[in-house]
Structure formats: structure tokens, C-alpha cells
Amino acid sequence: MDKILRAEIVKEVRQAMMEVNERYVTADELCKHIGTLTKRFLKEHGQMLDRTRIEWTDSKGVKHRQEWLYPLNKMKLMLASGQLKELVETTNGS
């Protein structure tokens, strides 16, 4: 098997496994796992990362928002591959 093809297949399988086993964590938990990311950085530049938050409306019509959640496995992979060094800030905040 061609080495390049094999590397691509391995990469795709790892990516799929990571997505299946993804774990979303709070900023505090993310900083514990990836010490190079600080709460200050996440507060000021977190929009450059893949993050999500849970939002819901209660029975009285009041909207609630949880703090940001980050995909831990994806962040670790980004650190290992050097992608965290290549972040670019955009003008639209999330």
C-alpha cells in the first residue's frame, strides 16, 4: 500500500474515532488539560476556537445560557498538530 495513502487512511480513522469519543469541557477544565491555554486567553480570544454553548428557554419564557464548552480531544489534537499556533482572529465574535 502506498505510504501516502496509508497515512491518509490512518488520519481519517483517527479523526473519526476522536469525533465519536469527543468530550466537551468548560474553560476551567480545558485549562487543566492544556496548560498553555489560559482563562484570560479563552475569554479574550475564545471565538477563534471551536466552541459551543447550551441555550434553553424555561417555562416562563426566560432564556438561559451556559458557559462556553470546548471539545477537549479536538483541542488536544490542534495543540499536537501545531494548529493552535496558526489561529486567526475574525471580526465576528461567537
**Sequence spans of domains, the chain:** 22-86
pTM score: 0.69
- Render 34-73 in DSSP notation, one character per residue: -TTS-HHHHHHHGGGS--B--EEE-TTS-EEEPPPEEEHH
Tell me the per-residue pLDDT of 30-76, one tens digit each, with 9 for 90 and over. 999 998 889 999 998 888 898 999 899 999 999 999 999 999 998 98
Tell me the per-residue pLDDT of 12-32, one tens digit each, with 9 for 90 and over. 888 787 777 899 999 999 999
